[in-house]
Amino acid sequence: MPQIFGTEHIIFMLVSIVVMVTALVLIGKFVKKERTKRVIIITCALIQLTFIIWNRLAVMEYGGGISEFLPTTFCGTTSLLFPLAMIFCKKDSGILQFLASCMLLGGVLTFFYPDFIGQDASIFFDKTMSGLLHHTMGIFNFFLICVTGSYKPSMEKWNSLIFGLCAYMTYGIFMISMLGHSDAMYIYHPLIEGTIFNWVFVGAMFIILYTIALIVYEQISLKKEDRWVQRTYNKLKIKFEKLKK
């Protein structure tokens, strides 16, 4: 039976990391034309869509029924929406920023702690392998759009996270109340059983990490006068100076 950090899991992680890093380095070094970058992004987005659809079909096949086709988890929902955002959204889209952030967080957590890995005696069991692949492809796609310059996060779009989380919770309530699911989006049960990782805790931690990450990103990548922190300071300074007069 495959286990978290068991032999199968470790081999999968090592192979995945080598493949992802190699592909990203090659793309960053040799792919310069915007048209080629766009073709690669669309292709990789479609691959992730294929993996998540395979996963949902596998869930339906093994006793889930038609109502299980729509994902009820944070990661599954993001794996379905993020590739679509890669294809249809602009690089400065708030929707893309929200989904990309969700994909990185959920993908990395599940990559290292796939709580579903013990579903069957083999890691190649449909539900297990498809789950591992759509999360891993999501991580790769996040770094792909960064490497190709197709994603530009900004503190100006910070509120996209709040709106996005509200939309996810609304979707979860709909799945529970209208489609009869016992839980969705971790509203009733925590991310990891027996822990405090329920939707309130995870959401709060996500907002904090998201904010810190955006501030650090702008500190590294933008000129001082273009950073949100500096611009906010300048605005507050002007307001206080007006109040003194």
Question: What pLDDT, in 10s, does the model give residues 89-142?
Answer: 998 899 999 999 999 999 999 999 998 999 889 999 999 999 999 999 999 999
pTM (predicted TM-score): 0.91
Give residue 245's pLDDT band: very low, low, confident or very high (50, 70, 90). low
The ranges assigned to domains in the chain are: 7-185
Q: How is residue 226 written in tokens?
A: 């273009």
- In the predicted model, what is the mean pLDDT of residues 30-46? 96
Measured CA to CA, the distance from residue 189 to residue 129 in angstroms comes to 24
| All residues at 6 or more sequence positions from 49 whose CB lies less than 8 Å from its CB, including other chains | 80, 83, 84
For CA atoms 35, 40, 43, 48, give the dihedral sign: negative
For CA atoms 201, 203, 207, 210, give the dihedral sign: positive
Tell me which residue has tokens 């529970």: 176
| All residues at 6 or more sequence positions from 32 whose CB lies less than 8 Å from its CB, including other chains | none
Residue 94: predicted pLDDT? 93
Residue 189: predicted pLDDT? 85
Q: Considering the chain, what is the average pLDDT of its residues?
A: 91
Q: How is residue 123 written in tokens?
A: 């890691």
Segment 146-150 long-range contacts (CB within 8 Å, at least 24 positions apart) = 147/24, 147/27, 147/28, 148/27, 148/28, 148/31, 148/37, 148/40, 148/41, 149/37, 149/91, 150/37, 150/38, 150/41, 150/86, 150/91
State the DSSP code for 156. G
More confident residue, 165 or 201: 165
Stated length of the chain = 245
